Structure 1
Amino acid sequence: MQIQWYPGHMHKASKQIKETLPQVDVIIEVLDARIPYSSTNPMLATLRGDKPCIKVLSKSDLADPTLTAQWQAYLEQEQSVRSLAISSEQPASLKQLTELCRSMFPAKAKSLKGIHALIVGIPNVGKSTLINILAKRVIAKTGNEPAITKHQQRINLGDGIVLSDTPGVLWPNIENRNSGYRLAATGAIKETAMQNDDVALFTAEYLLKAYPEALLKRYQLNTLPATDYELLEAVGKKRGCLRGGGGVDMDKVSKLLLTELRSGNLGRITLETPAMMSKEQEETLRIQAEKAIKRAQRKDKKRPKKS
């Protein structure tokens, strides 16, 4: 599933990030702990260079704790990157972020200038909630619908830290098929950009392999279905997601599964692992190479032939 969803304010935000970076001491990139790879913006990695970066794994209360630890170890292999797992349900964990910033720049924290941090993240990753808790007042709008923040804003958090916020930026073209599905499954992409049943089938296939016990427990199934479609059918029958005549309403059961995943009712689930990274990155590079060849071929066809 290739998704192209890039509102105009996101293009503007990309330009603002480029303009702000020279004045920034540290970048705080907020990731979804359930999809740390898919919720990373590759554009940011290109922009930041060797600028210090704190990768914040938000919504860690919804993610598999074992895999969250693996992701932190993986992310910190990159030079000048630190990581931190947080949850808005545990405000005390958020204090570690400001403490980490001050420990990275002890001299600047005590100076009049203070530490200038830029906070970035894709839509609906929990960035606005994090800002409001750190600021101890409502600064940024929050909500379940992605792309709520529209303008860059500057917030003084006190204790020597000034935070610049940007709108959630989703890169223009999500070429990794699996990342597109995972972003949709967690609610980072508006529902108008995808089909619920496609996303639910992808999610069901992964859950059958990675979290079979969670499915059996949540939906009180006697046996585990063999396929993604059979799982949705079984859940639909258990939960009464039926059409006239007794058939399963696939759209209704798809929405139910995705809602329960996003709310944490299925348990603490992570949709990707560090071990899956290399294979998917290779696939993305292959797709990019194929597109480059096709572009070159189109250009050759347009060139006038020599007589």
Structure 2
Amino acid sequence: MHDKPEVNINWFPGHMAKAQRMIREHLKLVDVVIELLDARIPLSSANPVIHEIIDNKPRLVALNKADLAEPDRTTRWLAHFREQGLPVVALDSMTGKGSKALVSRVEQLAGDKIAALVAKGINPRAVRAMILGIPNVGKSSLINRLLGTATVRTADKPGVTRGKQWIKIGKNLELLDTPGVLWPKFEDPEVGFKLAVTGAINDEVYDREKVMAKLLAVLRENYSERLTVRYKLTPPLPEDSSALLALIGAKRGCLRSGGLIDDEKARRIILNEFRSGKLGQFTLDDIQ
């Protein structure tokens, strides 16, 4: 029997509701909406409320952190979005791969709007776009990459961006950065789990023990070879997540006085290596 406990997370900071109001207020100022998703969880990192808010505004889907996702599955996700009639690009905002394609697509999507202004005798202006996404999906890192300088405050934790700001990207693009928007409630425990392990949710607001037990079960079931190689384990791996955690903890020297395994230290190591790509590339969402 596989150890896969349900992970229930309920999280609604007040600034989320404020962010949604801000988006509605400023939507009329922009020509294009860039919806930034995590390529590892394209479904779980999407917010259905965004679709209602932006209505008929041109939208570009950007799959960020593609360097951390499984390439063949990212290819399938790109095809899936195109089949839905949505323009889409894959990005690695840390290295800049895909950022030029993103700017080009945004300018294309705003072409009709700018042409209409010119037809009315108004001088051409820069395309105005809004970047939307859940916390920690990489909005600030993307803007920094587009600017070529670290002028927008970033951190590898949710909720760092506050308020709004216009950012000029070259001559032809202006970005309105907004705080991330997330569901007020996680109705699907699977979604909550995926958001937790990829870092979209602050590590203090969920049960790390349950989340890591589930992650270890998923890794053992689907990526056992990666665990074996990374932590120098001898197969077969134990089916019980607690036993597997203890095994990895022992290999990594996570010991307390008396020779006991420091479970929490072992959990932090595994989670950090999962998020950073040291355990390989992962895509947790399947196309439905």
The corresponding residue for 1:20 is 26
> Is 2:103 the partner of 1:98?
yes
The corresponding residue for 1:30 is 36
The corresponding residue for 1:45 is 51
Aligned to 1:91, what secondary structure does the other structure show? Answer: coil
Q: Which moved more, 1:98-107 or 1:123-132?
A: 98-107
Instruction: State the shift of 1:16 in Å.
Output: 0.8
Instruction: State the shift of 1:30 in Å.
Output: 1.0
Identify the match of residue 159 of structure 1 among 148, 168, 171.
Answer: 171
Same amino acid, percent of matched pairs: 40
The corresponding residue for 2:4 is none
TM-score under structure 1 normalisation?
0.83
Aligned to 1:28, what secondary structure does the other structure show? Answer: strand
Instruction: State the shift of 1:88 in Å.
Output: 2.6
Instruction: State the shift of 1:28 in Å.
Output: 0.5
The corresponding residue for 2:87 is 82
Structure (1 or 2) with the greater helix fraction: 1
Instruction: State the shift of 1:235 in Å.
Output: 0.8
> Is 2:194 the partner of 1:182?
yes
Q: Check conservation: 1:206, 1:271, Cα contact below 8 A.
A: no
Q: Check conservation: 2:94, 2:141, Cα contact below 8 A.
A: no
The corresponding residue for 1:269 is 282
Aligned to 1:133, what secondary structure does the other structure show? Answer: helix
For residues 252 and 92 of structure 1, the distance between their equivalents in structure 2, rounded to whole angstroms, comes to 34
The corresponding residue for 1:134 is 146
Change (3 A) 1:92 1:71: closer
Letter in 2 for 1:112: P
The corresponding residue for 2:247 is 234
Which deviations, in whole Å up to 9, do the C-alpha atoms of 1:100-153 show, x marking residues without a partner? 112223352886233221101111111101011112333421011210011011
> Is 2:223 the partner of 1:211?
yes
For residues 180 and 110 of structure 2, the distance between their equivalents in structure 1, rounded to whole angstroms, comes to 26
Letter in 2 for 1:202: K
Instruction: State the shift of 1:19 in Å.
Output: 1.3
Change (3 A) 1:116 1:83: same
Consecutive unaligned residues in structure 1, runs of 5 or more: 278-307
Consecutive unaligned residues in structure 2, runs of 5 or more: 1-6
For residues 20 and 215 of structure 2, the distance between their equivalents in structure 1, rounded to whole angstroms, comes to 30
Letter in 2 for 1:91: G
Instruction: State the shift of 1:92 in Å.
Output: 4.2
Pairwise CA RMSD of aligned residues? Answer: 1.9
